[in-house]
Every structure is written in structure tokens, then in C-alpha cells.
Amino acid sequence: MTVGGKINYGATLDGGEGITKGSPFAGYTLEELQLPQDFAGEIGVQKLITTIPVNRPDRDRFFRTNPNPAYKLTVVVLEIKGENETFLVHPNLAARLTGETRAKQLVVCINRQAVLSIWPLALPEPDGRINPWHRSAMEAAKIAESHWIRLIPNTALGAYDIYQAQGDLGEPEWPELTMQQIVDIAFKGKIIAEPDHPVLRQLRGEV
């Protein structure tokens, strides 16, 4: 319908909340055309996880860690700070990269938005020493196995503050992925298994 030479997009066949006259959906109400909240399940759509971040949980998000020991993995990593990238390093190469790599425990996390991630936790030094930042991170990861928490850096304290959710947020719905599948997705293209890997050549100044 036009009003004063302009199209009135709100005009309907019956003056109510139906479909505008001339629409291919004329004769149906908006309620009939709207998808239900769980439409993905009803039409058989499955969300595919193709990206899994490797980082510390975001300070603004409540998260949980998977309590199953099968979803924890102690590995050697190489962190390129300037590019914010973390590479897995084959243990056979670790001796050649003294001072460049660190042993870390990979912990699987999920936040309230159902985003899966891997949190690399620093482990104590061989002599058992561990700084307060790393200690508080390990404590937070343990608490998050059974409680929704947020993790916020406190520079004055020199450690992380841990905030526990006060409401009942329910249990997380973990995707049906094995740890192998999670690591494959998270570190796709970021596994160093050969001494001539481009990242190692860059560290040696060859390229």
C-alpha cells in the first residue's frame, strides 16, 4: 500500500500483524513463519567446531574447565609473544630449543556462550618453584571444574582474582569431541615436529 506516494511497509491484508499485501507469504502470520528457539535441533542441523582458541579465558566471561583427566594434556609449547601464537613442539625437539620452550598443561574450557577453548597452564619449575600468577591460575582451573568462575588479573596483588558465579548457571554442555580432535582443531598448522620447521628457521635467523 502507498501513503502519500510512499510505500507503507507496515500495511497488512487485515490491518493486523500479518504479511504485507503483495508478499509471496501473504496469507500467513509472522508467528507461523518464525522459527522456534530450538530450530537447529528440529531440522537436524549440527554445529561444527572448526576453530578452538588457545588462550587464557576472557576476563569478562564465566567459564568452566573439563574435570575429566582425559581432557588435560602436558606438552611442550613454543609461544611467539609478538604474534600471540602458541605452537606444540614434539618432545624430541625440546632439547634443541632450551630457553625457547616451556612445559604446560593444556586444559579444555567452555564459557557461557558455549565457546570451547584450550588454556595452556604454566607448570612449576623443575625445582618446584612457581610464581603467584601461575599458582593462582592453576587454583582457578581446579575450582572451575565444579563452579562457573571469572578470572581477572590483579597487578597490585601479582596474581589472579577469582570470582565465582552466585546464581545456579547449570552444568556446561560439552561437545562430543575427544581430546585428540580438540588438539587437532586448536593446533591446526601449529605443530612443530621437524627441525626445519619455518618457525624454528626464523628463530635461528635462517629466513
69 in the same domain as 15: no
Q: Are 120 and 54 in contact (CB under 8 A)?
A: yes
Q: Are residues 130 and 29 in the same domain?
A: no
Question: Could you tell me how many residues make up the chain?
Answer: 207
Q: In whole angstroms, what is the distance from residue 154 CA to residue 162 CA?
A: 10
How much is the pLDDT for 100?
85
Same domain, 166 and 67: yes
42 in any annotated domain? no
What is Dmax (Cα atoms) for the chain?
83
Q: Are residues 80 and 153 in the same domain?
A: yes
Q: Are residues 10 and 84 in the same domain?
A: no
| 139 and 198 part of one domain | yes
Residues 121 and 172 placed together within one structural domain of the fold: yes
Does 39 map to a domain? no
Q: Mean pLDDT for the chain?
A: 85
Q: Determine the pLDDT at residue 202.
A: 87
137 and 174 housed in the same domain: yes
| pTM, full prediction | 0.75
Same domain, 13 and 77: no
Give me the sign of the Cα torsion angle 133, 135, 138, 140. negative
Question: What one-character DSSP code corresponds to residue 134?
Answer: H
Q: Does one domain contain both 13 and 92?
A: no
Full residue range of the structural domain in which residue 21 is found: 1-34
Task: Decide: 150 and 59 in contact? Cβ < 8 Å.
Answer: yes
d(CA 159, CA 172): 27
Whether residues 10 and 109 share a domain: the answer is no
The pLDDT score that the predictor gives to residue 42 is: 59
Note whether 118 and 52 are within 8 A (CB). Answer: yes
pLDDT in tens, 136-152: 999 999 999 999 999 99
Q: What was the pLDDT predicted at 20?
A: 59
pLDDT of residue 28: 72
For residue 192, what is the enclosing H or E element? Answer: strand 191-192
Asked if residue 44 is part of any domain, the answer here is no
- In degrees and rounded to multiples of 5, residue 183 shows phi and psi of -65, -40
* Inside any domain, residue 164: yes
Asked whether residue 45 is assigned to any structural domain, the reply reads no
> pLDDT tens digits for the chain (207 residues)?
444 554 444 444 444 455 556 666 666 777 777 777 666 665 666 778 999 999 999 999 999 999 999 999 999 999 988 788 999 999 888 888 878 889 999 999 999 999 999 999 999 887 888 999 999 999 999 999 999 999 999 999 999 999 999 999 999 999 999 999 999 999 999 999 998 899 888 888 887
pLDDT per residue over 62-91, tens digit each? 999 999 999 999 999 999 887 889 999 998
Predicted pLDDT of residue 32? 72
Residue 162 near residue 139 (C-beta atoms within 8 A): yes
Burial of 39 (0-12, 13-18, 19+ CB in 10 A): exposed
Are 23 and 93 within one domain?
A: no
Number of domains making up the chain? 2
